[in-house]
Amino acid sequence: MTATLSASGVSKMFGLVCALNEIDVHLSGGVVGLLGPNGSGKSTLLKLFSGQLTPDTGEVRVLGRDPFREPAVLRHLGLCPEQDRFYEELSGYDFVTALTRLHGLSSPEAKRATETALERVGMSADGHKPLRAMSRGMRQRIKIAQAIAHDPAIVLLDEPLNGADPIARADLIRLVQTLGDEGRCVLVSSHVLHEVEAMTHKVLIIRHGRLRAQGDFLALRELIADRPYRIRVGVEDARGFATALIALPHTCGVEVLTPVLLELKTTQLDLACADVARLCADRRTTVTHLTSPDADLESLYRYLMRDV
């Protein structure tokens, strides 16, 4: 099956700076988080997929076509850029309508599509304000509205939650999830790891222009065999519970932190959690606390960003 978005052996130079180096990416439906530090090449990759740049080497394809040389394919793509470039005198409604017309929709179709898009981003009530009078969060919602109004199969979002308040962030995270559930290919670039984790488990991580990891971050974390998981368990008798845990074959170590809290190190997260539950049942005790600082996206990201 042809990937919706693909980059094969792609490199991109800006003078003497290598922004991307032999990148291979193949994406289909669903939401994927695009992660990496500043200057890692995230925005360059989005610009390649959206036809704003051409690779120096390699091949970029959108729905099997070259987005730079076949601009008609961009009808199937929506882009929310990181930076604002608005016609400030227009209302949000008129701005989205104008851009939707540029995708080939008739005037009545564009108006209907704009109304639907503004409703989806929570801007039905405020969409007729002039853009210059909108807050940063409102402007961000307008950018997302124009990216989805023409019903694209592919949505590229570069830092889509910038400037949004906590309620707006929660709303937009749900919207991104819904776009993926509808079968669209959604690529989201963000620095806020816990928000990406709320949107999706699928990630693409790049550093210094090179691909470091791609896939489900939970599965990727399991591949890091040299770094055991830490699990903090709160129980009534931490010392007695630790004695039972230390005998298990997948336990690397146990530290009693307080009389009611211990930290378990293990190579098998799922098995360890199951054993904690089994031991609680056998000992007729209750777990009051169970967390793992090593089983989230931030843990994987920190590991992959280490100097090697």
pLDDT in tens, 262-306: 999 988 888 888 888 898 888 888 889 888 877 778 778 877 877
**What is the reported pLDDT for 225?**
62
Q: Measured over all CA atoms, what is the biggest interatomic distance in the chain, rounded to whole angstroms?
A: 72
The rounded distance, in Å, linking the Cα atoms of 23 and 11 is 7
| DSSP conformational letter for 165 | -
The fold of 225-304 is: Alpha-Beta Plaits (3.30.70)
pLDDT above 90 coverage of the chain, percent: 62
Please report which residue ranges of 73-135 form alpha helices under DSSP H: 92-102, 107-120
- The average pLDDT across 191-210 equals 90
**What is the reported pLDDT for 105?**
94
Domains 5-221 and 225-304 equal at CATH topology level = no
Q: Which residues contact 38 (CB under 8 A, 6 or more apart)?
A: none
- Does the domain at residues 5-221 carry the CATH identifier 3.30.70.1350? no
- The average pLDDT across 122-144 equals 93
Strand partners, 18: 13
Please give the residue that has the higher pLDDT: either 85 or 59.
59
- 């016609």: which residue's tokens? 87
Per-domain boundaries in the chain: 5-221, 225-304
Question: Which region among 46-50, 116-120, 135-139 has the lowest average model confidence (pLDDT)?
Answer: 135-139
For residue 135 the two structure tokens come to 């807050």
pLDDT band per the 50, 70, 90 thresholds, residue 149 = very high
- Crossing angle (nearest 10°) for helices 136-148 and 92-102: 30
pLDDT at 1 over 60: no
